[in-house]
Structure 1
Amino acid sequence: MNDKHRLIEQHGYIKQQEDGLYAIRVRTIAGNLTSVQLHNLADLSDRYGNGQVHITTRQSVELHWIPEKKLDSIFQEINELGLLIAVRGPRILTVIACPGIRLCKKGICNTINLATQLDALMVGRSQPSKTKIALSGCPNSCAKPQINDIGLHGVIVPIADSGCIGCKTCETVCKFKAISVQDGKPHIAVEKCIGCGLCVRICPNHALHIHKQGYSLYMGGKIGRKPILGNKIFTVIPEQEAISYIEIVLHVYNQLAYKNERIGDVINRIGLNSFLQEILQHVPEC
């Protein structure tokens, strides 16, 4: 297999049911495309396929009904247009993300920035099996980080300070009853708090502050025929250190996994505690 065909084999084409026809997959960064890129994708679909454009669940774009004889030329055009060919097989796949703090009022972290860095650093890297990463800007988890091999969502840990006026606004807005006003001061039930930070934002007298802010990190989630819900292994990691933590998880995964074994399958085989102990050996503060 020559280099050109190896490149195509490793990237986003899928055989359709009809003989000789393929779907081509183009990835995005956090689901974002410019108007020019959209026009170019529409033009490619018109000239090579049947004019249909499909948005995948992982924020990629598929062009359907591409004849096999046109695969080389469409891949060449995709590259020339600066579009990103999707990745498939035993590699780190497209990083999906919600808009995060750039757009959403509930956003805590800059998911777009992190997704852009991860795309440049990691997407396409060989792994024991396909590896999916998802980023959400807050605990609402719109990008479903808990069902990805590695998932992160933004989190704020609040802390009470002086200045409470007893309005109980924080009690009212907290859907998880994690905060109550007692003796003129907010009291936070840490075990109930999900880290949305709404109480901090809404306090009229600034009696609540951010104690910690960053990402919660999950690993081992997946869907498919045997779904697994990911395990939260860190409640709060600093936003600027998220890449380092992801690298640690990937390093341990590569050391422990058999061929074609997802992170969740490794955890099921050796146990969460064993996997976590390996991770903690590489975390400086642990």
Structure 2
Amino acid sequence: MIDQASAIKQHGTIEQLQPGFAAVRIRTIAGNMTSDQFRTAAGLADKYGRGQLHITTRQSVEIHWVQTGQLAAAFRELLAAGLLLAVRGRRIMTVIACPGKALCRRGLGDTADLAAQLNAGMVGQELAGKTKIAVSGCPSACAKPQINDIGLHGVILPAVTGNCSLCNLCGQNCNSQAIEVRENNLSIDRDKCAGCGQCVKHCPHQALTAQKQGFAVYVGGKIGKKPLLGVKVFAVIPEQDALGYVQAILNAYRQLSLQGERIGDVIQRIGLPPFRQEIIRQQAKASEG
């Protein structure tokens, strides 16, 4: 259990426009809360705020209109109820995620499980700059991994076997137009393929299989006054290794960053190849350890 003083120092508060009032932000795991947790949050909003809850863009829940003199009491009740506090400052922020394969028909990866692991092991750690992580279950990228410091989305790289009947159901279900049936032959344009796996799913003869499946990994994205689009550093990694890859990225960031820099700023300063090489070095170092 985090003590009250540490919680306020680490998580802080968000001052409102109105003097004497602040917002308190509750962290969710992959955007999920139980109905009991929502009822508790609602009760605290009635007690300390004005009976209103706000869902943030990073899947947290804010209680507005908390008087600054009541912040300590509000924090104490939040912690006692087992609710998590969101993170502020130069730290790893709340991890956001889409529902993933547990609920979405397009989902390829277990986003909720990975987000829970990232939340338990990494959120709140201090770094050179604030660090946002997003996990999506497929290339539709609903959690916007490309505009986060570290982003992952589920992916399948298909391969053709010798059982193709040339029915073209795969091509009809390929929104990227990466599949072509011509001269009794099925071909996949790897440059166009988004890795959504719909061709594998809709093939009635299992002529298309998942050659590789896991997560694509992006680094360096951010929004704000100077937005950057994240760059893909790994086309596909095994799902079971995702936590280790994220840790290697964070270790590389710690090694290469200057105070106040976010990952995208580091990449702009030194270039992507040195940053990627440091990730690989950190992976090798972890394997040796």
TM-score by length of 2: 0.95
What are the residue-to-residue correspondences of 1:164-179 with 2, within 5 Å?
164-179=164-179
1:181 is displaced (CA, Å) by 2.2
Which residue matches 2:262? 262
Report the identity percentage.
54
Cα deviation, residue 279, structure 1 = 1.7
**Separation (CA, whole Å) in 2 of partners of 1:101 and 1:45:** 33
Distance 2:119 2:137 in 1: 17
> Where does residue 52 of structure 1 map in the other structure?
52
Say which SS state the counterpart of residue 32 (structure 1) adopts. Answer: coil
User: What is the correspondence of 1:1-286 to structure 2 with a 5 Å cutoff?
Assistant: 4-284=4-284
Give the aligned length.
283
Preserved CA contact (<8 Å) 1:27 1:61: yes
The superposition leaves residues 108-160 of structure 1 with CA deviations (integer Å, 9 ceiling, x where unpaired) of 00000000011000010111111000000000000000000000000000010
Shift of 1:183: 4.3
Instruction: Spell out, residue by residue over 1:65-121, the C-alpha distance to the aligned partner (whole angstroms, 9 max, x if none).
Output: 101111111101101111001111111010000000000000000000000011000
Judge which range, 124-133 or 183-192, deviates more: 183-192
Q: How far has the Cα of 1:21 moved from its partner? A: 0.6
> 1:7, CA displacement in angstroms?
2.6
CA RMSD, aligned part only? 1.3
Distance (Å, rounded) in 1 between the aligned partners of 2:61 and 2:50: 14
**Amino acid in structure 1 at the alignment position of 2:252:** V
What one-letter code is carried by the residue in structure 2 that aligns with 1:80? A
1:7 counterpart SS class = helix
Normalized against structure 1, the TM-score is what?
A: 0.96
How far apart are 1:187 and its partner, in Å?
1.3
User: Aligned to 1:218, what secondary structure does the other structure show?
Assistant: strand
Shift of 1:206: 1.1
8 A Cα contact 1:12 1:85, kept in partner:
no
- Displacement of 1:271: 1.1
Aligned to 2:132, what secondary structure does the other structure show? Answer: strand
Aligned-pair CA distance for 1:18: 1.3
Q: Does the residue aligned with 2:25 lie in a helix, a strand or coil?
A: strand
Deviation at 1:5, TM superposition (A): 3.6
